[in-house]
């Protein structure tokens, strides 16, 4: 039912169904490509995939080996050093991958490209492919974020070059933007100056996010201060004009925008540098925090922002609007107050002191 001669062409037909949602299409392409590369390594094609292959593939997602062949830092797809993984996938990411691939096989079966969907043979399918996730764990605790933000704001040494001053302000703005407005990485790189608008004396950030959904997010005073400082560094007026279409985050020339990959690397490099400094300054006392910084990715900043807003008492309905979640139970994963209270009350129960 489709015009395709190879597995790659068949998957391309499936991906075209998501052309209206570029972010979704990009995520689905990544998972399909990982599967195709793994099948090629096994000497198999999509039509040859059987039930027993699913367990092997799921284990591979959790530990892609040999590491040098499969794992590497983010690079352009055409770069010879590009690798399909940045590291082993977490249980939640493995589950998400299987959910996407199950849908792909359903479509390919309907299209007549494969005869069956091996996912239908999984007896524990509901448990394995249940995409419901528990509480958010990949975020920076308040104390760790406080240290990180103070470190980002440490004054530069005397005699810093113009490039160092530019990168300093860009890091501050990037992390402040991510923490205060909880954007996704793609939303940050796509943001334009004119996306910050003023209505009746209040500033709003206009964003087009996942699934092409648009939203207006209130801009708090600290975000407006960061925006003004960043624009000052760029040599612009303090506030953006309605017709100012230039990119928000910019390369060293001050005009070109930052792509997703470059922005991703910038944030990860900052996390790793922060981990080195924290380890040097506090040693073993900060071992847990150092480990978290080394594992952190840009999406941790979104989780951190939403978690800290919830802890600060932002109502669930407003938190959901900021996160742009279609379901409140998705947003509720950021509510840790009940866990804290449960833990506090559990401490009442103990053993007699000898």
Q: What distance in Å separates the CA atoms of residue 91 and residue 52, rounded to the nearest whole number?
A: 19
Q: Which domain holds residue 291?
A: 142-342
Q: Is residue 187 part of a domain?
A: yes
Q: Do residues 316 and 220 share a domain?
A: yes
Tell me, yes or no, whether 289 lies in a domain: yes
CA distances from 28 to 17, 91, 98, 177 (A): 11, 18, 11, 27
Domain presence at residue 352: no
Last residue of a domain, one of 76, 107, 129: 129
Q: Does residue 86 share a domain with residue 59?
A: yes
241-299 pLDDT, tens digit each: 988 989 999 999 999 999 888 999 999 999 999 999 999 999 988 999 999 999 999 98
Q: Say whether both 171 and 254 belong to one domain.
A: yes
Q: Are 149 and 282 contained in the same domain? A: yes
Strand partners of residue 204: 197, 218
* Domain stops at, among 129, 160, 179: 129
Same structural domain, 197 and 113: no
Is residue 109 domain-shared with residue 147, that is, in the same domain? no
Cis preceding-peptide flag for 116 (omega within 30 of 0)? no
Q: Is residue 135 part of a domain?
A: no
27 and 147 share one domain: no
Q: Do 262 and 194 belong together in one domain?
A: yes
Higher pLDDT, 265 or 125: 265
Q: What is the CATH number of the domain that holds 54?
A: 1.10.150
Looking at the fold, whether 118 and 64 belong to one and the same domain comes out as: yes
161 and 117 assigned to the same domain: no
pTM exceeds 0.85? no
From CA 190, how far away is CA 54, in angstroms rounded? 36
Contacts of 99 (CB under 8 A, 6+ apart): 129, 131
Total structural domains within the chain: 2
Residue 134, pLDDT > 70, answer: no
Phi-psi region of 268 (alpha: psi -120 to 50; beta: other; left: phi over 0): alpha
pLDDT at 130 over 60: no
95 domain residue, yes or no: yes
**Shared domain check, 58 and 180:** no
69 plus 146 within the same structural domain: no
């Amino acid at each position: 039912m489709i015009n395709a001669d190879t597995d790659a062409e068949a998957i391309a037909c499936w991906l075209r169904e998501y052309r209206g949602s570029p972010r979704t299409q990009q995520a689905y392409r990544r998972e399909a490509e990982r599967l195709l590369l793994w099948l090629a390594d096994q000497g198999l094609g999509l039509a040859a995939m059987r039930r027993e292959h699913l367990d092997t593939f799921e284990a591979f997602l959790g530990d892609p080996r040999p590491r040098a062949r499969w794992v590497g830092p983010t690079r352009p797809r055409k770069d010879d050093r590009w690798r399909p993984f940045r590291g082993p996938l977490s249980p939640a990411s493995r589950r998400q991958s299987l959910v996407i691939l199950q849908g792909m096989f359903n479509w390919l079966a309907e299209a007549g490209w494969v005869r069956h969907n091996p996912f239908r043979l999984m007896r524990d399918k509901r448990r394995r492919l249940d995409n419901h996730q528990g509480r958010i764990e990949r975020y920076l605790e308040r104390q760790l974020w406080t240290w990180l933000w103070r470190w980002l704001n440490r004054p530069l040494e005397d005699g810093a070059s113009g490039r160092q001053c530019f990168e300093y302000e860009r890091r501050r703005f990037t992390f402040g933007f991510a923490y205060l407005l909880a954007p996704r990485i793609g939303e940050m790189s796509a943001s334009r100056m004119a996306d910050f608008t003023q209505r009746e004396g209040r500033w709003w950030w206009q964003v087009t996010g996942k699934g092409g959904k648009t939203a207006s997010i209130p801009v708090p005073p600290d975000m407006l201060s960061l925006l003004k400082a960043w624009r000052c560094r760029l040599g612009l007026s303090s506030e953006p004009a309605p017709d100012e279409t230039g990119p928000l985050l910019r390369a060293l020339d001050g005009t070109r925008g930052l792509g997703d990959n470059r922005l991703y690397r910038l944030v990860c490099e900052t996390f790793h540098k922060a981990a080195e400094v924290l380890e040097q300054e506090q040693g073993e006392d900060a071992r847990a925090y150092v480990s978290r910084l080394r594992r952190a990715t840009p999406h941790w900043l979104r989780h951190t922002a939403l978690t800290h807003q919830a802890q600060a008492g932002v109502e669930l309905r407003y938190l959901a609007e900021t996160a742009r979640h279609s379901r409140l139970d998705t947003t509720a994963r950021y509510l840790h107050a009940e866990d804290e209270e449960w833990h506090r009350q559990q401490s009442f129960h103990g053993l007699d002191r000898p």
